[in-house]
Amino acid sequence: MKFRIGFIFTLISLLVGFCQFTYSQPEKVYRIGFYNVENFYDVFVDSTREYNAFTPEGEQHWDYDRFQLKRNNLYKTIMALGEGEPPSLLGLSEIENDVVLRELIFKTPLKKFNYQYVNYPSPDRRGIDVALIYRTSHFTLLSSKPIPVIDPTDSAFITRDILYASFIINDIDTLHFFINHWPSRYGGTLSSVDKRMLAAKTLKRNSDSISVLFPNAKIIILGDFNDCPEDLSLKVGLATQYQNTSFKLNDLVNLFESKTGFGKKGTIKYEQQWQIFDQIIITNSLLSSNNRLKYRKFSANIFDAPFLLMEDDRFLGKKLFRTYQGPAYLGGISDHLPVYLDLELEENDSVTN
């Protein structure tokens, strides 16, 4: 009798534990990332523009061996970023064209994961654009378009477009993405701050146009903003909020505003100073625990695997293992670190009462 009662209690405990585990565990996790890949050019001369430094005869002496090494290193970084399972979607900047995207996703082992890409040529003087790659088994593309950043007071101003794309995730929910690479600080921070504010306001208008139609819209903004989270372009121009101060579903929350949660110094290093230029911003709707699709708490991070860094003999500590240092070829990967977050999706049939 005691054996039977003990067996029954054991069985009940196992069933309760199983139900709790099934209820608490999301069925699917999707890693989303962004990576400035530093001058990912093909080796061909582009007769439509003056800038052709990244060619065999150009200033950087960029040949197929160097291109192939960088392509393969980027593949390895993307796999490592996903911890063995490559990201569901990755925003990219400093991409020359769809040639290098096809080389990356079709001519490396990434081809096993059914990636496709979205990319539009933009008017950048050096011919570098933003793009995204995504796994077709996870996302279905709904629409995409380039968003130009135009200064009505300066007809000579040109910069990279913002890339917009919307997807159906797992045939359940819609996600809206904006991929950014805002005007650089070349020539000085103060002299270029207005251009980044212009990009911020352009992005804000387009983000708001979605939120007006869909107050619960799930928006993810990825990019190299060439500004830090506390700078005016982000705090004022884009009106980003800190996680603990956001109340409205369509508030834009900068997951990288607090440096204390990462244990990482930044995504770029200039001399001895680390800064977080690469960030991910989401609408507050993705923080709501009431949604089946939501941001996994504390998952936003900077990916700083040791192979992306090298010793900094001049300023001490570590620095980025980049492809070029000025005209000098180093053979590294990028002058930025990737950033990422995880989304989790609870399936209805995984919830047990």
User: pLDDT digits over 238-251, tens only?
Assistant: 999 998 877 889 99
Q: Which two structure tokens, joined as six digits, stand for 125?
A: 């003087």
Residue with tokens 């409205």: 248
Q: Is there a contact between 257 and 265 (Cβ–Cβ < 8 Å)?
A: no
Q: Which two structure tokens, joined as six digits, stand for 5?
A: 């009662």
Chain-centre distance for alpha carbon 91: 4
pLDDT digits (tens, 9 = 90+) for 72-95: 999 999 999 999 889 999 999 999
Residue 237 per-residue DSSP state? I
pLDDT digits (tens, 9 = 90+) for 5-47: 444 434 434 444 434 433 444 469 999 999 999 999 999 999 9
pLDDT at position 246 is: 77
pLDDT at position 352 is: 32
Round to whole Å and give the CA distance between 336 and 194: 23
pLDDT at position 21 is: 39
Confidence of residue 258 (pLDDT cuts 50, 70, 90): confident
**Mean pLDDT of the chain, nearest integer:** 89
pLDDT digits (tens, 9 = 90+) for 213-225: 999 999 999 999 9
Confidence of residue 346 (pLDDT cuts 50, 70, 90): confident
Mean pLDDT of 175-189: 89
Q: Which two structure tokens, joined as six digits, stand for 3?
A: 């054996």
pTM of the model: 0.90
Sheet of 173-181, strand order: 139-147, 162-169, 173-181, 219-224, 278-283, 252-254, 240-241
pLDDT at position 348 is: 67
Structural domains in the chain, sorted by start: 30-350 (3.60.10.10)
